[in-house]
Structures are given as structure tokens and as C-alpha cells.
Amino acid sequence: MQDDPKTLVSTQWLAAHLDDPDLRVLDASMYLPNAGRDAKAEYDAAHIPGARFFDIDDVSDLRSDLPHMVPPVEKFMSRMRAMGVGDGHQVVVYDGAGIYSAARVWWLFRLMGQDDIAVLDGGFPKWQAEGRPVEDLPPVVRDRHMTVRRQNHLVKDVTQVSAASKLADTVILDARAAERFRGEVDEPRAGLRKGHIPGSKNLPFTELLNEDGTMKDPEALRELFAARGVEAKTPVITSCGSGVTAAVLNLALERTGHRIHALYDGSWAEWGAFPTLPVATGA
């Protein structure tokens, strides 16, 4: 793969840059409740040297009833300062699944106007499989100011997504598993309807990944997007269950050179809860 410090870097790249003074590594692992895994406990037991733990549920808008919504700018800035992440830093974010929740943090940094951030390709599983160093020590953190310029075009709300669904001028890509998209199984979150946003197309985020958890090459990604009607200039809105795996699609779009994409932050946790919003089922 081709390393790009603004989208995706290899374990080899990170190992070569691990001692760079302006590198910051974030462990952004999170799991669904039914996974039976404790992300913070796993971080405390072993993480990439110097990594800080990025708690996606904490760095969010706790005023919202929806899970891990985008935090207010001030909260994001204060949390990053406390983690010692700020202006002039190259950030690499990873997770314990391969490429899963790390993409959400990559997208969140992009939303906050921070471009020098990349996801670790293959994540912690690949790093460990290669026998690379880990530690259980808390990092030494020094405050660092971060200048935030929120990029509002990178996020969409329910009103904007509803309009896109009706106008059919934007491709809405749903990153959930096919059986959830078709409405054949219950949603993991209680009280949500089954199905998908009318007019949206299904592209499970797992289809973007190789068997070893790394991301497919840009040409293979372009073919997957093209099969859903996405070309270079096609506006795209990504969605999923709660705005996490949708970001894997945004990351993949960016890898192909596609620039006109946004993420529906509320995703199905919001759409599926509103009885007045239309729902489609089947393929």
C-alpha cells in the first residue's frame, strides 16, 4: 500500500516514525455491548508505545440522546489539550478490531479542521501479529493547544439526509451488514425499526477490507463504489448504525481521491427511531 499521513499508514510506517517528537498515537478502540470486550481494559493491558486512549463515548455530545454524537468544538479542544494533542502534531489512530472505530476519530479530526491524521492500516491486530512493541505504561502528556476550524460540509443532519433521500441527487451509502439493511434482523439497539433510508444503497464496511483487516487498494475501492453509482464527482452521504462504521466509507472514499462526501451523524440510531420518517426494506 501507499502510505499517506492524511488517510492511511502501514504498521511499517508507524514503526519507523514512532520516536518522532511530533507524532501522537491514539487508541480509539470501541466495541458493541454484545462483543464482550472492554476497550479501556485492553488498552491498559497493552497498547502501542506512547498511545493515548481516545474514548469515543466521552469525546461526544453528552446532551444528545443519541450515542457518541459530534462534541461541541470547545469540548473537543479541551479533551485534546488534556491528551496533549494539538497544532503541529501528526496523529495516527488505531483500534483493536483492525479498521473499525479508528475511522470515526479520523473523520472527527477532519470535521474539526485537522488534516494531519491517519488510520493505522490493519490496526492493533496487525501490529501485534508482526511482533512489534507494546507497553502498559500511561503516556507522559504535556498540554498542547489545538486550533479548530469546523468543516460543516463534512457532516449532515436528519433534515439534510431526508432532503437528499427525496431529491435523489446524492448517493446515500449504508455501511451496515446486508441483513440489517434489508430489515431481515432486529437492530442491536432496542426500539429501532428495521430497514433503511429510502433510496440508499448498501455497502457493508467489511467489503472494503481484506481478510487481514487492512483496507483494499484504491482501484478495488473505486470498483465497489462504482457498483453503487458513485463516480468521482458524485456527492455521497454515508450512514450506518450510529455513525462509526460509516466513517470507514468516508476514509475509503478519500483514499480513492473522492472529495465530495459527508457523514450522517445520527445514522440509523436516529432515523430508525422516528416513526414519521419513511423506511424501506429489502434490497
Q: Which residues are catalytic?
A: 240
DSSP 156: E
Burial of 142 from C-beta contacts in 10 A (0-12 / 13-18 / 19+)? exposed
Joined together, the cell numbers standing for residue 125 give 491486530
N residues, the chain: 283
Handedness of CA 90, 80, 40, 212 (dihedral sign): negative
8-9, strands of its sheet edge to edge: 8-9, 117-120, 90-94, 23-27, 52-53
Strands (E) located in the chain: 8-9, 23-27, 52-53, 90-94, 117-120, 155-156, 171-174, 201-202, 236-239, 261-264
C-alpha 114 chain-centroid distance: 15
d(CA 181, CA 162): 17
d(CA 68, CA 66): 7
> Which of helix, strand or coil describes residue 261?
strand
Residue whose C-alpha cell is 507522559: 140
Beta-carbon neighbour count of residue 167 at 10 Å?
A: 9
Of the candidates 259, 262, 267, which has an alpha carbon nearest to the alpha carbon of residue 156?
262
